């Protein structure tokens, strides 16, 4: 059996030789590569931290000590070391291993984390809590206490929350270790001045160059003589690599490195030494993203989180990889549509926050580099920058995952909505996202943005709809606008129909034969917001003429279409709202609130959406089925609503049943 197969847990690492640990590292790499080839998942980030993860578990005891991941997509080696190899073959599914830290799986995972920049601040809280509880590690005063370690990437550390965490970490007077995983990459190339600083360190310093007057450096740090003591307690290797004039000194952190993140003896030596320094320390570790897989090393962006793939051949230029295409994605459709807008209108500008490929903005970056920006993992800054551009007369489009919009909500409120500025927000990954699970679901963007006065909220159902929505937004200057679309392929179902332009607050009937505006009296009416409109049409197919159903593409959650809402609720049949979003404050709530304002009877209204609970990792299709938002689930809800509303015969009498209040169905 292999070393990985016989590994019971992190304690086994302490008895292994360096040669045995190297063998284990290669086995971990091969296990991750083999699985991601089959299922997809985060590949390059995990390949880059194998030796670093082994070294951390060799030196520390994280059954007792604290390990905090920042972002979390580099946790596969950690999970394999902590006994979760049997879960690997069902990676990113409900039955297997989550792609991010998951406390439900193991006590070694302290937090679910998928948003960058949070690790240092959370670790500071743990460090202070352990200190208050008398459990903080001290090499002399409390050698059985808990050490605190957080692992953060060079791209994440420029995030505003990370800066706040560093600012507070420097005030600690106890052991606290920040491991900076410097691989020169975010998902794509990191951006900004600090990224340039790291590049200069990589280029200008060899390890020998850093053997400078470290004790003089320490005297200049905040805390002065106390941190000078840390120098005397450091091991010789750490003293040799304490950086002169390090950027992190300014925050009060003793800084060592950079060191080779793939050299196990060096990693173990340094971690052993810095573990016993009772002051905040940052250890700068240089790694290679995608290490051990040639194609991933050469194109770490493509292999950050690839779909299943096959290595088809190898030649003098290395491996060739085939990634089967599953269809055209909303992301690709958006990227082409945005570039088309920029070609037609030179006032259109765009940005993304470290996701040029993930959002499709890479197309515009290539074609219009002077009008397109990747600002790095800085969503708050991006929103404010777009506000500034709007103020100067440009038409800014900010492409961001729905889950990361949450990080810029304050800026959407203060600098955008409050100023009445026409910033255009484009939300990829809206709704359920599949394998990334709860950390990445875009389930609350409607609830958040609907609260802001002056905003217009749109949703696209396919590629022509998305193109039309973006054109509407480009022409809309009265305030901010936002369009949402899922992590999914665009449907071709309606390509034979002309997609009408978006008109403010106007829905589109997808079943003209049953349009209530044309005098039809269907058995049920579905008001669908976004891509669930396609699922609703598929649900009607499943009903197979059992009922007549009118399906509307609502298009707007703010403002909703008053005429459609009134006609639907006056039609005397069940009305269902459908959305890939929580029912709390979502599109269904908007319809319900507007109906109440119009004095309409809402007893026939049923809201379908995401339940008030966390939806864990699985395929997007499985998640939609779980919450009743796939075609079968919607068909079932339509049938139930119609059956409840139809008169029931008791003997010769007819008893008519009605709902006493709007119902809410999320399963």
318 compared with 220, residue with greater pLDDT: 318
pLDDT of residue 317: 54
**Annotated active-site residue in 407, 424, 508, 555:** 407
The mean per-residue pLDDT over the stretch 422-448 comes to 97
DSSP code at position 502? P
DSSP 599-634: T---TTEEEEEE-SS---SS-HHHHHHHTT-SHHHH
Residue count of the chain, please give it. 667
What are the boundaries of each domain within the chain?
3-286, 330-484, 517-665
Angstrom CA distances, 152 to 115, 174, 235, 620, stand at: 12, 20, 23, 29
**Annotated active-site residue in 289, 424, 429, 487:** 289
pLDDT of residue 257: 84
Tell me whether residue 14 is one of the annotated catalytic residues: no
pLDDT of residue 208: 34
Q: Do domains 330-484 and 517-665 have the same CATH topology?
A: yes
Contacts of 261 (CB under 8 A, 6+ apart): 48, 49, 51, 52, 181, 182, 267, 285, 286, 287, 288
Read off the pLDDT band of 103 (50, 70, 90).
Answer: very high
**Annotated active-site residue in 102, 269, 273, 379:** 379
d(CA 24, CA 338): 46
Contact between residue 382 and residue 415 where contact means Cβ atoms under 8 Å apart: no
CATH fold label, 330-484? Rossmann fold (3.40.50)
pLDDT of residue 659: 36
Residue-wise pLDDT tens digits, 580-612: 999 999 999 999 999 999 999 999 999 999 999
Tell me whether residue 51 is one of the annotated catalytic residues: no
d(CA 162, CA 155): 10
CA-based torsion, 402, 404, 405, 409: positive or negative: positive
Confidence check: pLDDT of 54 > 60: yes
Q: Which CATH architecture has domain 3-286?
A: 3-Layer(aba) Sandwich (3.40)
Contact between residue 346 and residue 327 where contact means Cβ atoms under 8 Å apart: no
Give Cα 238 to chain centroid, integer Å: 36
Token code pair at residue 305:
């989180």
Q: What integer best gives the mean pLDDT of the chain?
A: 89
Read off the pLDDT band of 373 (50, 70, 90).
Answer: very high
pLDDT of residue 158: 85
Confidence check: pLDDT of 231 > 70: no
Confidence check: pLDDT of 393 > 50: yes
Tell me whether residue 498 is one of the annotated catalytic residues: no
Position of tokens 């792609």?
99
Read off the pLDDT band of 209 (50, 70, 90).
Answer: very low
Residue-wise pLDDT tens digits, 321-352: 777 777 899 999 999 999 999 999 999 999 99
Class of domain 517-665: alpha beta
- In terms of DSSP H, where are the helices of 433-528? 445-449, 463-475
Nearest in space to 638 (alpha carbons), one of 513, 512, 526, 511: 526
The mean per-residue pLDDT over the stretch 620-635 comes to 98
204 compared with 177, residue with greater pLDDT: 177
Residue-wise pLDDT tens digits, 299-324: 888 888 888 888 776 554 556 777 77
Confidence check: pLDDT of 398 > 50: yes
Residue-wise pLDDT tens digits, 270-294: 999 999 999 999 999 999 998 988 8
Confidence check: pLDDT of 76 > 80: yes
Q: Where are the beta strands (DSSP E) in 382-500?
A: 395-401, 424-428, 456-459, 481-484
């Amino acid at each position: 059996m292999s070393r990985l197969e016989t590994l019971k847990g992190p304690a086994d690492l302490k008895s292994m030789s360096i040669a045995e640990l190297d063998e284990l590292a290669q086995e971990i790499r091969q296990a991750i590569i083999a699985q991601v080839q089959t299922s997809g998942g985060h590949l390059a980030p995990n390949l880059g931290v194998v030796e670093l993860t082994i070294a951390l578990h060799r030196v520390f005891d994280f059954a007792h000590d604290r390990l905090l991941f920042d972002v979390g997509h580099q946790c596969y080696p950690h999970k394999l070391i902590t006994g979760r190899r049997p879960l690997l073959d069902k990676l990113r599914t409900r039955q297997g291993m989550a792609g991010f830290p998951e406390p439900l799986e193991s006590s070694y995972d302290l937090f679910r984390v998928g948003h960058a920049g949070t690790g240092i601040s959370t670790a500071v809280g743990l460090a202070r809590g352990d200190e208050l509880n008398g459990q903080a590690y001290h090499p002399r005063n409390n050698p059985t206490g808990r050490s605190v370690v957080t692992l953060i990437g060079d791209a994440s550390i420029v995030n505003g929350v990370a800066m706040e965490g560093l600012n507070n970490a420097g005030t600690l007077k106890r052991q606290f270790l920040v491991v900076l995983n410097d691989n020169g990459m975010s998902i794509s190339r990191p951006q900004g001045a600090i990224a340039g600083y790291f590049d200069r360190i990589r280029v200008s310093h060899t390890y020998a160059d850093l053997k400078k007057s470290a004790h003089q450096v320490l005297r200049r740090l905040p805390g002065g003589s106390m941190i000078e003591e840390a120098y005397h307690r450091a091991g010789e290797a750490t003293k040799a690599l304490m950086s002169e004039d390090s950027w992190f000194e300014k925050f009060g952190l003793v800084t060592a490195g950079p060191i080779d993140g793939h050299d196990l003896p060096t990693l173990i030596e340094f971690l052993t030494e810095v573990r016993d320094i009772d002051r905040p320390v940052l250890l700068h570790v240089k790694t290679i993203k995608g290490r051990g897989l040639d194609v991933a090393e050469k194109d770490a962006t493509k292999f950050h989180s690839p779909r299943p793939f096959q290595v088809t051949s190898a030649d003098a230029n290395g491996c060739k990889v085939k990634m089967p295409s599953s269809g055209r994605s909303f992301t690709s459709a958006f990227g082409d549509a945005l570039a088309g807008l920029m070609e037609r209108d030179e006032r259109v500008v765009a940005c993304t926050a470290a996701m040029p490929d993930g959002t499709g903005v890479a197309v515009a970056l290539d074609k219009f580099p002077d009008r397109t920006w990747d600002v790095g993992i800085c969503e708050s800054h991006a929103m404010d920058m777009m506000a500034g551009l709007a103020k100067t007369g440009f038409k800014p489009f900010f492409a961001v995952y729905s889950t990361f919009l949450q990080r810029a909500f304050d800026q959407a409120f203060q600098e955008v909505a409050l100023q009445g500025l026409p910033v255009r927000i484009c939300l990829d990954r809206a709704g359920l996202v599949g394998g990334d699970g709860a950390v990445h679901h875009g389930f609350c963007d409607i609830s958040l943005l609907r609260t802001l006065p002056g905003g217009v909220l749109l949703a696209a159902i396919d590629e022509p709809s998305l193109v039309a929505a973006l054109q509407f937004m480009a022409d809309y200057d009265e305030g901010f606008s936002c369009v949402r679309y899922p992590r999914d392929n665009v449907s071709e179902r309606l390509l034979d129909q002309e997609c009408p332009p978006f008109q403010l607050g106007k829905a589109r009937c997808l079943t003209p034969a049953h349009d209530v505006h044309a005098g039809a009296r269907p058995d049920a009416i579905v008001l669908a917001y976004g891509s669930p409109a396609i699922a609703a049409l598929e649900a009607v197919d499943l009903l197979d003429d059992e009922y007549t159903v009118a399906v509307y593409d609502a298009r707007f959650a703010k403002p909703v279409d008053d005429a459609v809402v009134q006609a639907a609720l006056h039609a005397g049949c069940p009305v269902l709202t459908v959305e890939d979003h929580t029912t709390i404050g979502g599109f269904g709530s908007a319809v319900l609130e507007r109906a109440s304002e119009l004095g309409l009877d809402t007893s026939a209204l049923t809201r379908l959406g995401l339940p008030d609970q966390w939806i864990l990792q699985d395929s997007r299709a499985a998640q939609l089925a779980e919450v009743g938002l796939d075609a079968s689930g919607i068909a079932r809800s339509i049938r139930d609503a119609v059956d409840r509303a139809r008169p029931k015969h008791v003997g010769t009498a007819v008893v008519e049943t009605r709902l006493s209040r709007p119902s809410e169905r999320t399963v």
